[in-house]
Each structure stands twice: as C-alpha cells, then as structure tokens.
Structure 1
C-alpha cells in the first residue's frame, strides 16, 4: 500500500469552519460557560464546610471525594441510559437538575439550615449528573457535526476544558472572597441554566435511539456490551490501557506538586498558583492546534506520537530548583498538558468514529469507568512513593511513566496507519 497523501492547505481551507456552524457554536458556548461555572462548586463546597460548618480534615476529604466517586458508581449504568434515550434532551435535563441541586445550598445557608450531610449530598448528586452529561456529551457530538470535523470539534471542546481549568479556580477564589461561598454557588447554578438554554436552541435533528427486535436485553447485559466492545477491540483496549496508565502516573506526580513547590522550591502560595497556571495554558494551546497536528502528522499516528514524543519536554518539571530554574516546573507541565490534550482529542475522535452509534454511550461510559478509576490510585501511590523516595523522585517516576504509557498504542495496529478516514476505516501507510 502507498502512503496516504497529506491533506493540503487548500483542502483545509475548503472545509466549512465550525465557527460558522450555528448549532456547534451553541453547544460550545454553553459548555464554555458551564465549565467555567463548574469550577466554583469544588472550591465553594469545601470552603463552606470549613468556614460555616467547622468540618474536620477527614470530612473535607470525604466531601471532595464524593464528586469523583460518582464516576465509579454510575458510569456504566449511565452508558446504558444514554444509549436508550435522546442524548440532547438528557443533557438539557442534567443541566437543569444540576442548577436546582446547586441552588439548594445558598437557600439552605440563607435559612440557616445548611449541614455537612447536605453538602455531601450535593457533591454526590451533582457528580452523578455530571457523569450522565459527560457520557451523553461525547456520544452526542457525532450526530451534530460531520465526521470530517470531529477532530476539530473535539479540539475546541478540549480547549474549553483547559481554559476553564486555567481561569476557573482563580475566578472562584475571587468570587468566594468577594461575596461568600454560598452566594458564589448561585453563579454556578446560573451557568448550568445558560448551558441548558444553549442546548434548547440547537435545531440539528438527532436520530432516535435504535430499538432491538424483540424484547430489550436486560440492563446488566447492556452494561456488559459496552465493556465487551472496549475489551475485544484490538486498538480501543490499548487506547484505554494507555489513558489509564497516563492517568495513574500523572496523578502520582500532580498529587505531590504542592508539597514540591512549597517545600522543595520554597514558593509562597501565590507564587505556586502562578506557576501552576502554566499547565492548563498548555492544554488550551494543545486544543487549538490538535486538529492541525492530526492533519499534518496523521489522525491515527498522532494517538501514539503525542504521549511518547510530546511528553518528553515534561521531564523539565523535576529539574526545577529554587533559583531561575523554578520556571522549568511550569514549562514542564505546560508541555505535559499540551501533549495530553492533543492525545485526548485524537483518541476521543477515533472512538467516536469506530464505535456503532447505538453503542456510543455504553462505550464512552466503559472507557471513563476504567481510566478514571486509576486517578485516586495514582494519588495514593504518589503519597506513598514520596514518603519512601522523596518528592523529586516521585515526580520523575510519574512523568516518565505517563509518557511511556504511549507504548500501549505504539505496539498496536495503529503503528502501521497514518489516518482514520471519515467512514471510520483507517488508511494504511508504508513505513518510512
């Protein structure tokens, strides 16, 4: 077989811009507002627990864990539900319900009835609704934009997430300081409502969920179908192994970043915050360039190249010392998040293209269930390794291990391919 011809600049220029795609822009703008607003709740809930309810350290940790625990508890059932119902409508209801649940906190605070159990319930319920929304979100996108535009769409959405991670915590801190934790949550509730309105205005028709001939399979069997598809697919199972490995090792390193910055580098809290802001900026840049890099390098090839090659500059982070080299920590994490968003954009697009439409929800849920499950384990391992071997060594292990996670995909059928075509069939290329 001959190598696929590179996409020309004229072809790129002839492709309709997503910036002129009305319904995608509604989805993107609504999600941007919601993503930034959603940074308020993880900040405000622990703040209220400490300042208003005098919660212990363990109680604050439990409150924080409940939001992410939802991914392990409801991700697989959420996949079945997403494949059974209209995803567009489900996303709107998730936004509305999240707005209502979050709004109960300022109401209870105003009535002087706020309790720690109430905050824990809000964290768990909003986390569960977010799982349903996120699974539906990734599964809905292929019905909104053409397959040729999927990688650009995912890149723009990845940019939103990184921008929210950059701006959100700072905005949340300023807002909480200015008007208090309870009142700040009103802004998050409003952001969910604005996202719901943007979804309501979308007019692109969504195909109805396909119904099986005869009786519907049992719920548990349908959950297993998503996991089975992921495990049996020769490429997808390696992508999941790669993502899970990257999450495991990256969170080993990131869990120790604050002790490293303060104890090893001697930074103040404000200096540490400024340095940490460089990381998400790399994700913003990666999201903006992901589509262009995939067209230049190959939409299949970039999946293994991003973690292996783009992860190497992240090794600058543990080379930071308390002098001019302190900036190396921020530069290293800038490089890491740049490569992570490029990789994520490419692999999510691949998943959307190769999965049957009626299985998209269950496939995305199964992937999330696996790869997010390694995150708390990575944080625990990071703490243990730092105790045994020190902070700098732990960050070295985390970043090197994360970049080597790309080997899972390198030693897969993707290594001999350049592109994934719009009809979900990869184009093979000869080596060289």
Structure 2
C-alpha cells in the first residue's frame, strides 16, 4: 500500500525541506565536490596525454575508452558490493582511492616516469572508483531522506551534476592554462579528498546488511542474477530499463551524426557550434531547478511522460534545419535548451520513482543494472551512428536517430508508470509484479 493519506483527510502534513536534513547537506556538498573533480579529471587527463606525452589521436581515444570501460566490466558487481556493505563507507573509500590514484599522475610527471601506459592503468582504476561512487550514491540517498523528499534530493543533486558539467571543464581549462595539465589532475584529486572528508562527517548510522549468499564467487554471481531478475521481472523497472536502453542507443548515434551535421551539412563555424552546444548548460540548470516541483503539480506519471515527450520529440526538429544563418543557429540553440531542460527534469523524476520502488536491500544492484544498460549500449549507438552517416547521409541519420529517441517513449507510455499520480508508490516485492492500483493514484479528498 502507498503511504498516501486516506480518503477523507483534507490535507497531509507538509514535507520538511530536504535542506533541513544536515546529513543530506553533507552528502550534497560531498557529491558536488566529487562531481566537479570528475569533470576536471575527465577534461585534464586526455590533455596530459596530448600536451605532456604527445600522444596520438588513437592513444587518446583508447584512454577515453579505458576510463569508461569499468561501466561495462564492474557495474553489476559494484551493485552487489553496495548492497553488502555500508554505502557511506564505499563513498568515502572510492573518493580516497581516486584521490590517491590521480595524485600519482603529477608525481610520475615530475620524476620523468610518466608514460601513456601509466595513464591507461590509472585511468582504469579511477573509472572503477567512479562506477562504485555513482552506484553507492544513488543507493545511499534513500537511506538519508524521507520517501517524500527523494524528488527534492535528486533535484538538488541534479543541479550539482548540471553545474559540474558546465563549470567543471571550464575550471579544468583554467587550471591547465595556469598550472599545466598534470597539476590540474592533482586539483581533481584534492577535490576528491574534500568530498571524502565531507561525506565522512555524515552522522547517520547504517545497519550492515546480512546476506545468506556469502562472499564466494558463486554467491556473488547469484546476487548479480537476483538484481537482474528483479529489474527485468518487475514491469515498472523493466519499462524504465528498456526506455533507457532505447534512449542511449539512439542518442549516442544522434550525437555522432550531429557533431558532423552542423559543420558539414549546415556549414556552421566553430563559434556557431559552440553557441549551439552552450545552450545545453542553461537548460540543465533550469530543468534541475524545477524538476522537484513538477510531480507535486502535475503528478509523477504525467511529469515523466510529458518531460520525456518534449525532450525526445523536440530533437526531430534538427533534421528540418537548413542554412547557417542566425535562424538556424537560434533554432538549434532552442532545441538544445528544451532537450536539456525537460531531459534533466525527466531524469530526476524517473530516478526518484526507481529509488522508491526498490527495496533498500536491492538499491545497489538495481542502480548498477541501470548503469550497466545505459552505458553498455552507448558504444553500439556510436557504431550505428557512424554506419548510418556513411550510408544514408548525415541529415537522414539525424532524422532516423531522432525517431529512435521518440520510440523510447513507448515503454513508458504503455507501462503502469504513466498512471502514477501524486503519491509515491510503495516498494516492490521480489516477486515480479506491476504497480498495484493502490500505488497509481493519490486518494485526495
């Protein structure tokens, strides 16, 4: 049953602001520092390869792939670990580990021992830490805040993610310019250390989960399987995962075509392309700022479906743009702004529902399964975008992949998720089942 008020109650007590929760504030501060560290590192590490080691384009591409590889190799097992041990400990440990790993880069550089192979190894371990931190962070939030505060909490963290996405590379660029690329990596390590110390100050006491499977390899694989079975065996979680899979496949393919479409088909200059891409930044911030309010005004299901529809369908307009004048640039900027705004709002709402539906003992594995699917399908999308671009042309590829984005709406529209109204649903059981009627509507007087 939902925790909603029963029929006959005129009003329900207001939910306290999430910012009154000191532990959430510490988590938000720590995660913000960690997000900025990740963005600085993602910007500076390839520049170390280029500026300090004169690496080739292929080597830089391989470095980027190695850093992302843990999402495929580690995600599912990270979920098991997150569900076995205290999540705060994982957040602190991964921050400290990444700070230590990245601090090795400037030390090796200053002692003339840094080589591209070292960057591959260190980048891979830093990527493993990022996977663990991401999964643990998503699983930890429901332990710190009330169910009714999840959307506000995710919205605040989404704002930090947006700010880091915008400001992190810019800050990294300044640090590289002033201090050199290896020292910029060290700045990221310091930011990870600050994150660890802040999260360490959280006072909430977690109970250690008891697992009958044990820590044997066979037990670990059974726990991985139980997480996969829970996600794909429950209709609402399965719909979210399928939607994410279709979206990431199509969006990655669209990205590959779009970066070529602007200069080669439309003839946009580098400055004009920069303006188009810069429009994403304000969109991220606006979407994250309003995401927490939309479900209370329009209902969770309607918010999910509407925000996803606007974000995905607006991308169909890209293929209709012609020329390189002010109108073309302005149209693409508006499309990017709307996509970012409504896309972030949708992500916050979907994440809040997923956390609410998932029992605490499975939060890590469910988050890991979603990360595995979302990141695992992206390389296939990149290959698809390149193949279509060479066969049907860039404009045709942009249109086809935008249609693919639109098709991601179908799993959501056909699922019980679209019928959730104002009250958050109760957690699912381990038995495969769709949402019950009691969790679909808010029984307001």
TM-score past 0.5 threshold:
yes
- Does residue 372 in structure 1 map to residue 375 in structure 2? yes
CA distances 1:276-301 after superposition (whole Å, capped 9, x unpaired): 12113212211111111111121133
Relative to 1, partners in 2 of residues 1:387 and 1:106: Cα closer, same or farther, differing over 3 Å? same
Aligned residue for 1:324?
326
Aligned residue for 1:28?
28
CA contact (8 A) 1:264 1:322 kept: no
**TM-score normalised per structure 2:** 0.89
CA separation in 2, counterparts of 1:337 and 1:248? 17
Aligned residue for 1:226?
227
Aligned residue for 2:79?
79
- Does residue 284 in structure 1 map to residue 297 in structure 2? no
CA contact (8 A) 1:76 1:366 kept: yes
Aligned residue for 2:349?
346
Aligned residue for 1:179?
179
- Does residue 391 in structure 1 map to residue 394 in structure 2? yes
CA distances 1:282-335 after superposition (whole Å, capped 9, x unpaired): 122111111111111211332233212343333343444300121221221221
State the Cα distance separating 1:422 from its structure 2 match.
6.0
Alignment RMSD: 2.3
CA separation in 1, counterparts of 2:119 and 2:213? 44
Any idea what SS the aligned residue of 1:311 has?
helix
CA separation in 1, counterparts of 2:300 and 2:271? 40
**Residue range with higher mean Cα deviation, 161-170 or 88-97:** 161-170
Aligned residue for 2:435?
none
Any idea what SS the aligned residue of 1:55 has?
coil
CA separation in 2, counterparts of 1:98 and 1:419? 40
Relative to 1, partners in 2 of residues 1:11 and 1:288: Cα closer, same or farther, differing over 3 Å? farther
- Does residue 192 in structure 1 map to residue 215 in structure 2? no
- Does residue 18 in structure 1 map to residue 18 in structure 2? yes
Any idea what SS the aligned residue of 2:235 has?
coil
Aligned residue for 1:381?
384
CA separation in 1, counterparts of 2:80 and 2:205? 21
CA contact (8 A) 1:416 1:429 kept: no
Aligned residue for 1:428?
441
State the Cα distance separating 1:233 from its structure 2 match.
0.3
Q: Write the mapping of 1:10-409 to structure 2, written as runs, cut at 5 A.
A: 14-212=14-212, 218-320=219-321, 321-325=323-327, 326-409=329-412
**Residue range with higher mean Cα deviation, 75-84 or 309-318:** 309-318
State the Cα distance separating 1:222 from its structure 2 match.
0.6
CA contact (8 A) 2:312 2:339 kept: yes
Structure 2, unaligned runs of 5 or more: 428-437
Relative to 1, partners in 2 of residues 1:261 and 1:178: Cα closer, same or farther, differing over 3 Å? farther
**TM-score normalised per structure 1:** 0.92
CA distances 1:91-146 after superposition (whole Å, capped 9, x unpaired): 10000000000111011001010011110111111111111111111000000000
State the Cα distance separating 1:420 from its structure 2 match.
4.4
CA separation in 1, counterparts of 2:219 and 2:286? 44
State the Cα distance separating 1:231 from its structure 2 match.
0.8
Relative to 1, partners in 2 of residues 1:213 and 1:99: Cα closer, same or farther, differing over 3 Å? closer
CA contact (8 A) 1:86 1:208 kept: yes
CA contact (8 A) 2:276 2:336 kept: no
State the Cα distance separating 1:30 from its structure 2 match.
1.8
CA contact (8 A) 1:163 1:281 kept: no
